Amino acid sequence: MAEQKLLMTEAQMDKAIHAMAEKVIEDGLSEAVLVGIKTRGVPLAHWLARRLAQITRKTPKVGELDINLYRDDLSEVAEQPIIHKTDIPFSVDNSGIILVDDVLYTGRTIRAALDALIDFGRPKFVRLAVLVDRGWRELPIQAEYVGLTIKTKIDEVVKVMLEECDGKNEVLLKEHFSKRT
């Protein structure tokens, strides 16, 4: 087993997401729609939506975005990514959108997500919410709403585990698998 460290428990995750929801309201964006980036951005977007609903009594709409068709590294990845369904059940034109993802790292996923979103229409604005910002950006992209900011080594992996995908909610920091013995 690789060395791993617990970064967030379920309670800490919920607290962070609640704080993000409060900040969204504070920024006056309660009308914004959420778009989760597949895979783990989607349950996180729903989580954020639930917390927003607790405050505003109104559940924001949530869309699902698969960014694989917008990737810039198709020829470099060893395994070809599986294409998942994109489902944006509202008009993007003139909407305020909060993109939701689990980890902000190089920024390339968000670049792809922005390209994808813009193919659906011309949003009024796009903000970014992530559970963990682990640094190492390769593109000029920043998140407005961040659950946890940590410094990492480049070869470490931040693993956000979610009930819907992994059976439990927690965030782990793992050594890179190549260092496994």
Partner 1 sequence: MSLSVRHILSVNDLTKKDCALILKTAQNMEEISERSVKKVPILRGKTILLCFFEPSTRTRTSFEIAAKRLSADAVNISSVGSSLSKGETLLDTAKNLEAMNPDILVVRHAQSGIPHLLAQAVDCPVINAGDGMHEHPTQALLDLMTILKVKKRIAGLHIAIIGDILHSRVALSNIILLKKMGAKVSLAGPASMIPLGIEQFGVPIFYDIRKVIPSADVIMMLRIQREREADSFFPSLREYSRFFGLNKETMKHAKKDVVILHPGPVNRGVEIAPEIADGEHSLILDQVTNGVAVRMALLYLLCGAKK
By the criterion CB under 8 A, which residues form the site for partner 1? 66, 68-71, 74-75, 77-80, 82-87, 115-116, 119-121
**Based on CB atoms, which residue is closest to partner 1, 40 or 51?**
40
Between 75 and 178, name the residue whose CB sits nearer to partner 1.
Answer: 75
Residue 9 or 91 with smaller CB distance to partner 1: 91
Q: How far apart are CA 103 and CA 151, in angstroms?
A: 13
Shortest distance, position 89 Cβ to partner 1, whole Å: 11
Instruction: Report the nearest approach of partner 1 to the CB of residue 169 (Å).
Output: 27
**CB nearer partner 1, residue 53 or residue 83:** 83
Burial class (CB in 10 A: 0-12, 13-18, 19+), 54: exposed
Triad 127, 57, 38: Cα angle to 5°: 40
Q: Does residue 39 have a cis bond before it (omega within 30 degrees)? A: yes
Shortest CB 69 distance to partner 1, Å: 4
| Residue 98 one-letter amino acid | I
- Taking Cα atoms as reference points, which of 4, 12, 11, 56 lies closest to residue 34? 56
CB of 102 to partner 1, least distance (A): 21
Distance separating the N- and C-terminal Cα atoms of the chain: 8
Shortest distance, CB of residue 3 to partner 1, whole angstroms? 29
Q: Which two tokens stand for residue 66?
A: 């698969």
Q: Closer CB to partner 1, residue 75 or residue 181?
A: 75
